[in-house]
Structure 1
Amino acid sequence: MKLTKGGLIILYALLVLIPVVSIFFTTFKSTSEMYDNVLGLPKSFDFGNYAKLFVEESMGTYFINSVIVTVFSVAITLFFASLIAFAITRMTGWVGNAIFALFALGMMVPAQVNMIPLYSLIFDLGLTNSLFGLIIVNTTVTMPVAVFILSGFMKSLPKSLFEASTIDGANNWQMYTRIALPLSLPSLSATAIFLFVMVWNDLLYPLLFITDKDYKTLPLALLEFQGEYMTNYPMLFTGVIIASAPMVIAYVFLQRYFIAGMTAGSVKG
């Protein structure tokens, strides 16, 4: 049984690893070389595709745009979502449950349903072709998910801590900053990673709101390498590797926080 499980794990790892390695090697090939030998090693490890992306294709600008949109969207979402989650857990009776249900309902609405009214609103506000407008949209659409995750964790915090702090004269803001936030760091870290992946990989909203080349994000910029009759796969795969690198690095260094956040609150002491 152990051998079977180990074999299945190795087989799954190979199924995941082989396409990734193949894509990585393709970034060092020309288009003709790729078609001549799709799965083979490149003739030379030439970083010309990487240099061309940053020098000729403005990949540096797209990368910075993605960083700005992602960092500010995640930070703003976490701040307001943690406030809302704390308020929900502090409310008694049906009011807190109703607010929580309202945000949970927001998770059930497909993004495509909101495209027309959302575009109309952003257009009327003059925020199309704007990173600020993209940040507002991402913050809005990711808020229900963040509130849902953080509320579930904060409900598991011992009420005795808040009751003791109330006796000591602490107000709601002090309880939020001195008790709820420090204890919620694992959950906040896990939520941050989850939101980071959502916003960083998002194509729908940049495609909907951004047409100016100076404000494109990485996922939107990668579409430039796909034509109607021909796709420049080496350049496309190079862009994919560059776009994926921050997520891989973030997960490698923050995986312990992600795992701790996913398991936090599952066992009550």
Structure 2
Amino acid sequence: MSLPTPNLQESTHPVPSRKWPELLRHIPLVLYSLIIITPLSLVFFATFKDLSQLYTNPLGLPRSWDLANYSRLFANENMAVYFKNSMIVTFTSVFFILFFGSMISYAIIRMPKWTGAILFSFITLGMMIPTQVNMIPTYVFFAKLDLLNKHLGLIIVTVATLLPICVFILTGFMKTLPKGLIEAAMIDGASHWKIYTRLVLPLSGPALATAAIFCFVIAWNDLLYPLLFIKSAELKTLPLALLQFQGEYLTDYPMIFSGVVVASIPMVIIYTFLQKYFIAGMTAGSMKG
């Protein structure tokens, strides 16, 4: 007696598509993008409105796409001078932050283990101290040095404030560099300066870009120290200058939003050109064992 042969034909039931799980995984990303894009779009659209139109139709599109607010910003509000002041203070500060921070980080990785750890902890301790705690002693100290109402004083305090962040980023990256390359260079008779300039700095490009972006954004948007140090109108930076559109009874939001858009242009440009180095610097520590 022969047994029945099982039916080995393929099932007629439809196989569930694998595209749905992939689409569901993108839903949180889409929602997050909407949360970010929506307020940015409202700010951008508000720059093409006047104050009455902004109050009557804050969420709608502008009636006309004219550049009256931007023209007024540069023609009547001396915004070009404020923009130049921010460029001078920020770029000079970031240059010295990277210069001193990279040298300190190289010194830390070349020191004996415990000595370098103590120096690293002492410098990065500055990241834990709130800026507001140092306002009064910093103001008094800079007043005695006659550095108030000067860009030099603003640059010095910015460098001192952001240097711990730069050292924290660069030291973590430089520790991942192959020690064999540095030891080989020393055997060949290279000095510490040559090793630092010709070997360590080129290899630390991603970390330098990461530190530069972090420090640039913080220095460019800083309001506390310019508000504390700068009194002359011709020395104001952009964040400080935007306060003049805020009055006691009325705030000119379209002008403030126009200034915010103008102030964000350098940050967008810098991040656009340095984003691949920024991402490489953020992931370098996790990619190397």
TM range (shorter): over 0.9
Provide Cα deviations, 1:118-153, integer angstroms capped at 9, x if missing partner: 111111111111111100110000011101110111
Counterpart of 2:189 in structure 1 is 169
1:84-163 aligned at under 5 Å gives the runs 84-163=104-183
Q: Give the counterpart of 1:35 among 55, 62, 72.
A: 55
* 1:213 to partner: Cα distance: 0.6
Q: Distance in 2 between matches of 1:9 and 1:105?
A: 35
Counterpart of 1:212 in structure 2 is 232
Q: Distance in 2 between matches of 1:209 and 1:228?
A: 23
* TM-score, normalising length: structure 2: 0.91
Counterpart of 1:222 in structure 2 is 242
1:61-72 aligned at under 5 Å gives the runs 61-72=81-92
Counterpart of 1:26 in structure 2 is 46
Q: Distance in 1 between matches of 2:32 and 2:203?
A: 36
Q: What is the letter of the counterpart of residue 71 of structure 2?
A: A
Q: What is the letter of the counterpart of residue 141 of structure 1?
A: T
Q: What is the letter of the counterpart of residue 203 of structure 2?
A: L
For these two proteins, the number of residue pairs brought into alignment is 269
The two structures, once aligned, show a CA RMSD in angstroms of 1.1
* 1:158 to partner: Cα distance: 1.2
Q: Distance in 2 between matches of 1:34 and 1:148?
A: 44
Counterpart of 1:186 in structure 2 is 206
Provide Cα deviations, 1:193-246, integer angstroms capped at 9, x if missing partner: 111001001111101101111111111111111111111011111011111121
Give unmatched runs, 5+ long, in structure 2.
1-20
Runs of 4 or more, structure 1, over 3 Å off, are none
Give the 3-state SS of the residue equivalent to 1:231 in structure 2: coil
Give unmatched runs, 5+ long, in structure 1.
none
Q: Distance in 1 between matches of 2:34 and 2:197?
A: 46
Provide Cα deviations, 1:77-123, integer angstroms capped at 9, x if missing partner: 10000000000000114211111010121111110111111111111
Q: Distance in 2 between matches of 1:215 and 1:5?
A: 50
Percent of counterpart pairs with the same letter? 57
Q: Distance in 2 between matches of 1:37 and 1:145?
A: 43
Answering whether residue 284 of structure 2 is matched by residue 264 of structure 1, we say yes
Q: Give the counterpart of 1:10 among 9, 27, 30.
A: 30
Q: What is the letter of the counterpart of residue 230 of structure 2?
A: I
* 1:5 to partner: Cα distance: 2.5
* 1:74 to partner: Cα distance: 0.2
Counterpart of 1:54 in structure 2 is 74
Give the 3-state SS of the residue equivalent to 1:264 in structure 2: helix
Counterpart of 2:269 in structure 1 is 249
Q: Distance in 2 between matches of 1:163 and 1:12?
A: 47
Q: Distance in 2 between matches of 1:179 and 1:2?
A: 44
Larger Rg over CA atoms? 2
Q: Distance in 2 between matches of 1:29 and 1:244?
A: 19
Larger CA deviation: 120-129 vs 69-78:
120-129
Q: Distance in 1 between matches of 2:24 and 2:116?
A: 49
Q: Distance in 1 between matches of 2:42 and 2:95?
A: 35
Q: Distance in 1 between matches of 2:197 and 2:285?
A: 19
